[in-house]
Amino acid sequence: MLELYQTEWCRGSQLVRQRLTELELDVVLHQVPESVEERDELDGRTGQRSVPVLVLEDGAALVGSEAILAYLDPLPEPSDAEAHRARAERSLRKRCAELRETVSR
């Protein structure tokens, strides 16, 4: 089973989660503390304190969204991957519009 060490606010983590969803891959998510100093579990497991980190089934760890996305890139996409991307894009546009509206008040 793939394991992703990540945070909700990290854009790289978000991109990796989206790609995993598009590929319909099962993954265990591990939320890590916001403070880098408090990421002992992540460090002990992977030797890293930054996110995202994807731990593969063989125990190897891919660090950073670029490395993870490059690893996932050659995997075949299910037929509904494009629909997932389109929905994510609409959701992002909506959140950005809401944020602009909130900031302009």
User: For the chain, which domains are there?
Assistant: 2-76 (3.40.30.10)
Quote the tokens at residue 80. Answer: 């509904």
Q: What is the pLDDT of residue 85?
A: 85
Phi-psi region of 64 (alpha: psi -120 to 50; beta: other; left: phi over 0): left
Phi-psi region of 95 (alpha: psi -120 to 50; beta: other; left: phi over 0): alpha
Answer whether 4's CB lies under 8 Å from 16's CB: yes
Closest by CA to 46, choosing from 61, 31, 32, is: 61
Quote the tokens at residue 102. Answer: 């909130």
Q: What is the pLDDT of residue 59?
A: 93
Q: What is the pLDDT of residues 61-101, one digit of tens each?
A: 999 999 999 999 999 998 888 888 888 889 889 988 998 98
Between CA 52 and CA 2 the distance in angstroms is 13
- Mean pLDDT value of segment 34-39: 92
Between CA 7 and CA 31 the distance in angstroms is 5
**Helix 65-72 and helix 11-22: axis angle, to 10°?**
10
- Mean pLDDT value of segment 4-28: 95
